[in-house]
Structure 1
Amino acid sequence: MLNRDSIRDGIVFKMLQENQHLNNIAPRTAEERAASLNATLAQAPAGTLDGDVWVFGYGSLVWNPAFEFAEKRRGRIYGYHRAYCIWTHMGRGTPDNPGLMLALDRGGSCCGAAFRIARDKLEEELSILWAREMAMNSYVPAWVTVHTDTGPANGLTFTIDRRHERYVGCLPPDIAASHLATAEGYLGTSAEYLENTVAHLEELGIRDANLLDLHRRVTALQRKRPVDA
């Protein structure tokens, strides 16, 4: 599992570089990531960077944020929904049996985890976050309004780039489940990713109907798989 130290030490870039032949896409350099981060911060709503900054997580960030934060809350954003809409050929799958990763796609709303990063740690922690989430060009960072029990706040999140070659849109549930049940890459299985997301969302009191349906389908498919002799 990825952690703060390994990400800071460049493990994501190294893994992507070593396995570039699987994606045919070069990972972003440290300079490119820094430019992306600076451009995103320059677009922050007025006053946002005067204090602590929120990050909205909807998938693996919910159960493995891998950055230091001062507070974690349940939050909801509008204008995007959580979806398995991008293939993974490395982390949770292979070119022959690609897995699926979650992203935020247009429309609807999404409940997830809101993390507050202290202002004095913002530069280092966002650099770590960028090394993980923006190592490739599949995501677009976005400023959103995160609604929490104590009120709204401006926050950062990562939305899907629909122009990306691995974007698949809305797959039929049976097709998505078949990949999630069987795909595995160097970070583990797609099924494990789904199970962790469902479990940790439920810890926040969030029951995502689409994820729960996929989880039931994946569990049923795995039970039908033959046991190796």
Structure 2
Amino acid sequence: MDDFWVFGYGSLMWRPGFDFVEATKGRLFGYRRALCIYSWVHRGTQDKPGLVLGLDRGGSCTGMVFRVDGANRDVVLAYLRERELVTNVYLERTAPVHLPDGRRITAVCYVADQYHEQFAGHLSADDAARRVSVSEGRSGHNADYVASTVEHLKEMKIRDHWLEDVARLMDRPRR
């Protein structure tokens, strides 16, 4: 069985949770990293939803791609589906990803389902910051999630100006 690739844009980048034979940065066109998913459990509640990352339509996203040995396809896909498709707010897709060495590969990725009730839509950085500043769930405060994500991206030398703006804005006092 042929090897396959997996694209990560959030915690999957620094905590993939599966074995891989190669990892490199990659750019996915047509989608952008965004706080576009309402979190009702881990970073918020149904009464006061938080926001977590999703791949939303438009722009591009730099993330990590992992080449997985084809012999592990079923195990890795089962793991990813259990991890990513808990509430079915993400759709499993394959898409072309451009690698720094010029290769263009096809990778499995999980994109936001714009028709799902947990899809938050296109938010401004200020609106996202306002929401994450007041939300908390089982896994902790939503602001900690955003700050940790921005820190991990910086460590990986990946800039996400919109998410950095959200982190900067959520530090301001709220009315």
What TM-score does the superposition give when structure 2 sets the normalisation length?
0.91
Aligned to 1:160: 112
Q: Which structure shows the bigger proportion of residues in helix conformation?
A: 1
Spell out the pairing of 1:33-112 with structure 2 (5 A cutoff).
50-112=1-63
1:200 shift after superposition: 2.0
In structure 2, the gaps of 5 or more residues are none
- Root-mean-square deviation (CA, aligned residues, Å) is 1.7
Give SS of 1:220's match: coil
Residue by residue, what CA displacement relative to the aligned partner does 1:175-228 show, whole Å, maximum 9, x if unpaired?
21122123121122222221222122223321111011011112234xx79xxx
Query: What SS does the aligned partner of 1:106 have?
Result: strand
Contact 1:54 1:156 in 2 (8 A): yes
Aligned residue number for residue 137 of structure 1: 88
Q: Which moved more, 1:62-71 or 1:142-151?
A: 62-71
Q: Displacement of 1:67 after TM fit? A: 2.1
Structure 2 CA distance for aligned equivalents of residues 162 and 210 of structure 1: 20
Alignment check: 8 A CA contact 2:125 2:163 kept = no
How many angstroms apart in 1 are the aligned matches of 2:151 and 2:64? 13
1:139-168 CA-to-partner distances (Å, cap 9, x unmatched) read 111111111123111100011111111212
Aligned to 1:212: 164
Q: Which has the larger radius of gyration?
A: 1
Name 1:198's counterpart in structure 2. 150
1:182 alignment partner, SS class: coil
Q: What amino acid is aligned across from residue 149 of structure 2 in structure 1?
A: T
Report the counterpart of residue 100 of structure 2 in structure 1: 149
Deviations 1:56-106 (CA, angstroms, capped at 9, x unpaired): 111121232222222221110111111111211101111222100111111
Q: CA separation in 2, counterparts of 1:207 and 1:220?
A: 21
Distance across 2 between alignment mates of 1:162 and 1:117 = 29
* Identical amino acids, percent of aligned pairs: 42
Q: Which has the higher contact order (CA 8 A, sep 6+)?
A: 2
Give distance in 1, aligned partners of 2:134 and 2:147: 13
Please identify which structure carries the higher strand content: 2
Name the amino acid aligned to 2:46.
P
What stretches of structure 1 of length at least 5 have no aligned partner? 1-49
Amino acid in the other structure paired with 2:166 = L
Instruction: State the TM-score, normalizing by the size of structure 1.
Output: 0.71
